[in-house]
Amino acid sequence: MPRIDAFLLNPVNYMQQKIFYPESTVLVSKLAQEDKVRTLLEKLKSDQRSIYEHSLRVAILSLDLGFENQFHQPDLNFLGYAGLLHDIGKVNLPADILSKRTVLNSTDRASLNEHARLGFLTLESFEPEIVKQIVVAHHEYQKIPYPRKKIDRRKTERSTPGRRSNQSQAGALAQIVAVADIFDALTSQRSYKEALKKSDTETILRNQFTGDALYIDQVLRRFAD
């Protein structure tokens, strides 16, 4: 009998954001307890507790945006898996880089940025396959994108359900995970920084996030006052 994580029983307790669709937390709890996901999450939880909690919040926020945009069930599942596993590549990184409290030098920054590609490799045989494509792309909708350096793909990847190629579907879903990721990073208190105010969060999001601006408006409405 697998141990049920308290977080998964009531993930809302850990949210600093407003969640509009209760189905978001229900679906994340369900997906996180599937064997193929739980094994990876348990490793992340034991190695990097704060990244584990961040990943759960990003998954819930991503799904909340997915429900708001009336995504179909398969896309919702893809978003949930990808939100949970977007930073899984960080389990392969040296612990001292992740725990640094100071500004990273360029070598450390380059190592840290490897986590998107490492996540893709960790999920090599993960099904559905689109999840690893979303994971590798979750930092490609920011001012300095990585690992691929494409600049602005928002016009071709508008997240209308249906009629998309596999690649643009992954791109559209990656935008949601990306905006949720940046939003949670800015609005969460960390040991080395305070949570940002709404106005600062908005300024940075509008400056940094290069995906569909609609998602910025939607995620900002989830700021817990």
In the complex, what is the shortest distance from the CB of residue 135 to Fe ion, in angstroms, rounded to a whole number?
9
Instruction: Name the one range near Fe ion by CB under 5 A: 26-34, 56-64, 87-95, 97-105.
Output: 87-95
Q: Residue 20 corresponds to which tokens in the numbers above? A: 């509009």
Residue 87 binds to Fe ion (criterion: CB under 5 A): yes
Torsions phi, psi for 64 (to 5 deg) = -60, -40
Task: Assess 140 for contact with Fe ion (CB under 5 A).
Answer: no
Q: Which is nearer to Fe ion, 35 or 96 (CB)?
A: 96
SS3 category, 190: strand
Q: How far apart are CA 118 and CA 120, in angstroms?
A: 5
Q: In the complex, which residue's CB is closest to Fe ion?
A: 87
Cβ 82 to Fe ion, closest distance in Å? 11
Q: Which is nearer to Fe ion, 164 or 215 (CB)?
A: 215
Residue 103: which residues within 8 A CB-CB, separation 6 or more? none
Q: Closer CB to Fe ion, residue 89 or residue 164?
A: 89
| Cβ proximity to Fe ion, 12 vs 204, nearer residue | 204
Contact (CB, 8 A) for 93 and 115: yes
Site for Fe ion in 182-211 (CB under 5 A): none
Among candidates 65, 86, 83, which has minimal Cα distance to 214? 65
Nearest to 210 by CA among 170, 169, 182: 182
What residues make contact with Fe ion under the rule CB under 5 A?
Answer: 87
